[in-house]
Structure 1
Amino acid sequence: MPDKVGPWEFWREVLKSPRYVLAPMVDASELAWRLLSKRYGAQLVYTPMFHAVNFVRDQRYRSDHLHTCPEDHPLIVQFCANDPEVLVQAGKLAEPYCVAVDLNLGCPQAIAKRGRYGSFLQDEWELIRKMVEMASKELKVPITCKIRVFPDVEKTIAYAKMIERAGCYALTVHGRTREQKGRDTGLADWEQIKAVKKAVNIPVIANGNIQYLSDADRCLMETGVDAVMTAEGNLTNPAIFHGIQPPVWEMAEEYIEILEKYPCNLSYSRGHLFKMFNHCFTLPECCEIRQLLARASDLYDLREVCVALRNHFQKYVDGSEQWSSEGSTLKFPPWICQPYVRPPVKPPSIEEVSTEKTEEESNPIKEGRKRLEPERQTGEDGEIVLSKKKAKKLLKNPNFIFKPDRKPIGKCASCRNQMGTKCAYSRCKKCCHDHCSVNVFDCTGHNILIKTKMEKAMKITNNNPVRSSNLPSTQS
């Protein structure tokens, strides 16, 4: 195996000293989106995070997820893993297609906790050291890492130094802790990123708080890092690194053109359009267009959504009508690419807490977070009780009318579970299987074909008298 160049030679000669980096995003940084981002200033791109175990074991998983082309480079492939040998095996399969392999140590989601990877490995320093060290020694391409910070800056620095000593060539530091996610995301701590940059002697990429190009340049100046990475800022505006805010349909149409050559799962592309069109879809007048996107089944449908959105706002774009921004908190009109800002979580006041306690005391039957008074909606079919899931959908689309369930689900004839709606014997699947097995029946509703399979076996064994004697009786 030839000797690899050092971290700084790799940064300058292979990566060409990038300043603006597209983050690895699950189901979002696929090839078509990477190419669109590179057209508008992204100088280094990552694949979505791949699960190392699946990547090693499943050839179809590799062929479905790892796509690239010459315009896609330099490309870094990211894995989540908790086994040094599996990480190395996955890296060896990926190294022909990339310039480096990245180890994800920053994912804070619940699935990462269940799978024991991402930021939920950040307390297992010895395991991380072994993974980085083995990958550094055995892979032909360098190993890089993406981490989150600890609440204590000194611990973050020690963590980063340990990863550097293990052989990491470049370190991406997300300036949020593992607990900062969802509604509790908050702001990334650039001071921690700055401290890490001063402490290590490898390239450092900053991640967090990047919504505009001005934020990226300010982060470079304030932290002294070598590059800046963004995820959410790019999803709402793929032209973020060009410093422009184009109309959302222009970016969407250009993305769809790339999809014609490099297709991906429709759920990914539809998700990108939902992100870019988010501010438009919060307007009641765009509810029908939102439904068009939700029902889209191919690229033609996605184009129709773009055309509908363009036609709807064209009167404001060309100035024939004046757009009213009254009550809006957006920096630009809603049809302009711009970031989505999470509203801050307001802690409850003392009065609200005391009122809530009073209500709980007066309602001893209330359990957990369940409502005593469920939300209701009156539509063409009468009053409907809405579940929490439906109530949440109603917030996104206030004009949508839910239909009541046409077919109530009854109880199983043998137990207290719900019966299958298409079961021929009014049973749940388990009881139906037992019933059909004892009586040699079929149930097409549950796809239980005991009788059919038995008859098929009889036909086969009729030609073999030696085996036919072993066949059980079909009489009940």
Structure 2
Amino acid sequence: MSKLQGFEFWRQTLKEARFVVAPMVDQSELAWRLLSRRHGAQLCYTPMFHAQVFVRDSNYRRENLYNEVCEEDRPLITQFCANDPEVFVQAALLAQDYCDAIDLNLGCPQMIAKRGHYGVFLQDEWELLEKMVRLANEKLSVPITCKIRVFKDIEKTVHYAQMLEKAGCQLLTVHGRTKDQKGAMTGIASWEHIKAVRKAVGIPVFANGNIQHLSDVERCIQETGVQGVMSAEGNLHNPALFEGRSPPVWEMAEEYLEVVKQHPPCTLSFVRAHLFKLWHHTLQIHQDLREDLAKVKTLEGLADVSKQLRLRCQEEIARGKGVEEKGSGLPLPHWICQPYVRPASASEVKKTVCQKRALEDSDRTADTLSKNKQKKRSRNPNKNFCPEQKPKYIKCDQCGNPKGNKCVFNLCRGCCKKKAYKEVADCPIKSNLPKSTLQKKVPTR
């Protein structure tokens, strides 16, 4: 039986999913996906997995995917980051029996993605992306999907989407922000770009960006014509977003902790991060409990801090205190699940950041350095913070990491060691001298 494609895949396998939980590193684990599904989510993605690590490390596969198989957790799409077609397909083949589709991450804008050369930093390498998607479409028994960010130019974004569709992509998620719109510079996502892509392709499209309430979901579908809407930050602050509810924070926190107990093991750092997101507004007020939440080392400890936050909120409710008394400017009391809105506009933040960096670059006195750099300067008075004057490292011929300064093979420490022992050859780096060692052991006649 041939695999379903395009709209047939969306209708039959994904059951016409409209409400989608985004792939989030260390945040869209099984327990959170199940909680989100209980409250209206119709489709979930796994966190982003690194294809190369997934191929070589059986523990990584088991802990992140194989151990999280659950009948309630379907339909499910597994996402990978990759920059090598063969490695990507190998990873996808190992994952395809545990999900309903494989997604290629072409949207991650973080610095780790830049260093690893994946995510949105591949968006200009169309020939490579075409090969990756085409090969996956040919080899996999499940559909291949892609999640992208937009270019500033709408026409270029449309051509980009059409290229991926032609290569074999069966569903496209479009995050309406550019590569540079991240962190303090996030700004507003462009639904115009998403609308243009939806009109130009013949496959289902999901929209991502500007989703804080259920009303945003409905408005996005109406304005762009997409088949579904994906939420990341909105879902983290309110997992009942797709139900159109804003429940008390403790309701969601306690239910999440129960799901975690029912589906062990769950990494403690994931749980802690979720509680920080859920209790974000309350922790701005009860900062002593913020410190406790950061320090506790057990699931029971996290649950206890969450319980203390609930009791404090209920005391405020009993006294008739509201958000207005705290002067926070929130539309709802802080104990109600609601989105986090960044305090400054992207343009204002950008102006401030640029001025600070210009000052640091032009004047190297200690007063202009950040606290972190001042600490480094105190430990090493001769430390140089000028990027232009930093030494340029030569890359390893095999893996791309910085090569060893003394390596005769032009390799990094790890690759040098493998080569030296495989070929019984000597290299001075870290005393990789298998040939000399062997000669000492074999007596001469």
TM-score range relative to shorter protein? 0.7 to 0.9
Higher RCO, 1 vs 2 (CA within 8 Å, ≥6 residues apart): 2
Q: Is the alpha carbon distance of 1:252 and 1:324 closer, same or farther for their aligned partners in structure 2, counting shifts above 3 Å? A: closer
| SS of residue paired to 2:173 | strand
| CA distance in structure 1 between the aligned counterparts of 2:146 and 2:356, rounded to whole angstroms | 48
AA aligned to 1:275 is K
Query: TM-score by structure 2 length?
Result: 0.79
| CA distance in structure 2 between the aligned counterparts of 1:233 and 1:354, rounded to whole angstroms | 31
AA aligned to 1:39 is R
Show the counterpart of 1:311. 311
Q: Is the alpha carbon distance of 1:101 and 1:354 closer, same or farther for their aligned partners in structure 2, counting shifts above 3 Å? A: closer
| CA distance in structure 1 between the aligned counterparts of 2:379 and 2:79, rounded to whole angstroms | 48
| CA distance in structure 2 between the aligned counterparts of 1:259 and 1:178, rounded to whole angstroms | 34
Map 1:2-151 → 2, pairs under 5 A: 2-66=1-65, 67-151=68-152
Q: Is the alpha carbon distance of 1:324 and 1:226 closer, same or farther for their aligned partners in structure 2, counting shifts above 3 Å? A: closer
Show the counterpart of 2:302. 302
| SS of residue paired to 2:215 | helix
Q: How many residues align?
A: 377
Contact kept? 2:162, 2:200, Cα under 8 Å: yes
Structure 1 position 181, deviation (Å): 0.4
Show the counterpart of 2:281. 279
Which moved further from structure 2: 341-350 or 56-65? Answer: 341-350
Which moved further from structure 2: 131-140 or 339-348? Answer: 339-348
Show the counterpart of 1:270. 272
Contact kept? 2:268, 2:298, Cα under 8 Å: yes
AA aligned to 2:55 is V
Structure 1 position 347, deviation (Å): 3.6
Q: Deviations over 1:27-77 (max 9, x none)?
A: 000000000000000000000000000000000111111122000000000
Q: Deviations over 1:236-270 (max 9, x none)?
A: 01111011111111101100001112231100110
Show the counterpart of 2:409. none
Structure 1 position 94, deviation (Å): 0.4
Q: Is the alpha carbon distance of 1:32 and 1:390 closer, same or farther for their aligned partners in structure 2, counting shifts above 3 Å? A: farther
Show the counterpart of 2:391. none
Structure 1 position 278, deviation (Å): 0.9
Query: TM-score by structure 1 length?
Result: 0.74
Structure 2 unaligned runs (5+)?
384-439
1:254 aligns to 2:228 (yes or no): no
Q: Which structure 1 residue ranges, 4+ long, deviate > 6 Å from structure 2?
A: 353-357
| CA distance in structure 2 between the aligned counterparts of 1:140 and 1:317, rounded to whole angstroms | 54
| SS of residue paired to 2:339 | coil
Structure 1 position 146, deviation (Å): 0.2
| CA distance in structure 2 between the aligned counterparts of 1:364 and 1:106, rounded to whole angstroms | 36
Q: CA RMSD in A?
A: 3.0
| CA distance in structure 1 between the aligned counterparts of 2:245 and 2:93, rounded to whole angstroms | 39
| CA distance in structure 1 between the aligned counterparts of 2:125 and 2:163, rounded to whole angstroms | 12
| CA distance in structure 1 between the aligned counterparts of 2:23 and 2:357, rounded to whole angstroms | 42
| SS of residue paired to 1:202 | coil
Show the counterpart of 1:205. 206
Q: Deviations over 1:179-235 (max 9, x none)?
A: 100111000000000000000000000000001111111001110000000000000
AA aligned to 1:50 is F
| CA distance in structure 2 between the aligned counterparts of 1:126 and 1:324, rounded to whole angstroms | 53
1:333 aligns to 2:333 (yes or no): yes
AA aligned to 2:220 is C
Show the counterpart of 2:180. 179
Structure 1 position 302, deviation (Å): 1.5
Structure 1 position 345, deviation (Å): 4.2
AA aligned to 1:312 is R
Structure 1 position 389, deviation (Å): 9.5
| SS of residue paired to 2:23 | coil
AA aligned to 2:301 is D
Contact kept? 2:39, 2:239, Cα under 8 Å: yes
| CA distance in structure 2 between the aligned counterparts of 1:47 and 1:85, rounded to whole angstroms | 21
| CA distance in structure 2 between the aligned counterparts of 1:149 and 1:6, rounded to whole angstroms | 24
Contact kept? 2:323, 2:329, Cα under 8 Å: no
Identity of aligned residues (%): 57
| CA distance in structure 2 between the aligned counterparts of 1:248 and 1:288, rounded to whole angstroms | 18
| CA distance in structure 2 between the aligned counterparts of 1:324 and 1:84, rounded to whole angstroms | 52
Show the counterpart of 1:421. none
| CA distance in structure 2 between the aligned counterparts of 1:99 and 1:121, rounded to whole angstroms | 25
Structure 1 unaligned runs (5+)?
372-386, 392-408, 418-468, 471-476
Show the counterpart of 1:342. 342
Contact kept? 2:185, 2:349, Cα under 8 Å: no
Q: Deviations over 1:408-462 (max 9, x none)?
A: x999xxxx99xxxxxxxxxxxxxxxxxxxxxxxxxxxxxxxxxxxxxxxxxxxxx
| SS of residue paired to 1:180 | coil
Q: Which has the larger share of helix?
A: 2
Q: Is the alpha carbon distance of 1:355 and 1:304 closer, same or farther for their aligned partners in structure 2, counting shifts above 3 Å? A: closer
AA aligned to 1:186 is G
Q: Is the alpha carbon distance of 1:172 and 1:336 closer, same or farther for their aligned partners in structure 2, counting shifts above 3 Å? A: same
Q: Is the alpha carbon distance of 1:193 and 1:63 closer, same or farther for their aligned partners in structure 2, counting shifts above 3 Å? A: same
Say which one has the larger Rg.
1
Q: Is the alpha carbon distance of 1:364 and 1:192 closer, same or farther for their aligned partners in structure 2, counting shifts above 3 Å? A: closer
Contact kept? 2:5, 2:143, Cα under 8 Å: no
AA aligned to 2:320 is E
| CA distance in structure 1 between the aligned counterparts of 2:290 and 2:18, rounded to whole angstroms | 36
Q: Is the alpha carbon distance of 1:349 and 1:265 closer, same or farther for their aligned partners in structure 2, counting shifts above 3 Å? A: closer
Q: Is the alpha carbon distance of 1:276 and 1:356 closer, same or farther for their aligned partners in structure 2, counting shifts above 3 Å? A: closer
